[in-house]
Amino acid sequence: MNFFLPLLSKWKRSFQIAILVFGTLAVYVLFPAESRLDVTVQSILLSTVFFVVLPILFVKLILHEPLSVLGFQGSKHRFGIIAVLAVVIPIILVWYVLLRTYPVSESYYLPAIIHDSFPFFLLYEIILIGALAFLYEVFFRGFVLILWLRKAGIWAVFFQSALFALFLIASGVGFSWQDAPLILASLGSGFVAFYTRSVPYSWLSAWLILFLSDVLILIIR
């Protein structure tokens, strides 16, 4: 009996996390839109509550564990930086090939104000894209990959990326090229999160991919 207790405890924990993951995504997608709020503002507010606050409360109040289990920690030595560079470079090369192969730039939206103003472009990328990347990293790479699925091995990287892609499709109007950099970033940052167990480094890789993706779009246009 004592042999099965730890196993049952692990299954119970995994089941609780699974319920919270799919429940959170379902509520987010079905949450009624508030017409008085800007779509971007509403998205950031909802993502903050569902993708950051809820996982943190779950870890602290239900699991009674430190936030390091969510990936809120660094990486030993310089491995984190090496991991970031190892995924960002090939992912950006893939994005470049897509841009040259398909008419991506024609349907890819960027605010008009950032086309003619480099300071506004930097503010947009650092503040808005940086915040969006962080919110997604905490939930999908921290909560889903590191806390819930990491023991499943490398397949956890692809599962969380597929789950993220389905979330983007369900919360939008189907797949668009606008989602492609986000999906590529989820795959790249997923590898970083898997090997470093660090959300700060996975966030850095995701943000760099999104930032450089927009830079390439502007250059090609």
Burial of 187 (0-12, 13-18, 19+ CB in 10 A): buried
Q: Is the confidence at residue 142, as pLDDT, over 60?
A: yes
What's residue 74's pLDDT? 79
Q: Is the confidence at residue 86, as pLDDT, over 80?
A: yes
Cα–Cα distance between 94 and 110 in angstroms, integer? 20
Cα–Cα distance between 120 and 107 in angstroms, integer? 21
Average confidence (pLDDT) over 171-189 = 87
Identify the sign of the CA torsion 27, 28, 29, 31: positive
What's residue 4's pLDDT? 42
pTM metric for this prediction: 0.90
Burial of 177 (0-12, 13-18, 19+ CB in 10 A): middle
pLDDT in tens, 11-63: 778 888 999 999 999 999 988 766 666 677 788 889 999 999 999 999 999 99
Both structure tokens of 37: 């709020």
Stretch (H or E) spanning 181 = helix 180-196
Average confidence (pLDDT) over 212-219 = 91
Q: Is the confidence at residue 120, as pLDDT, over 70?
A: yes
pLDDT in tens, 59-80: 999 999 999 999 998 776 678 8
DSSP state string for 128-140: IIHHHHHHHIIII
What's residue 2's pLDDT? 46
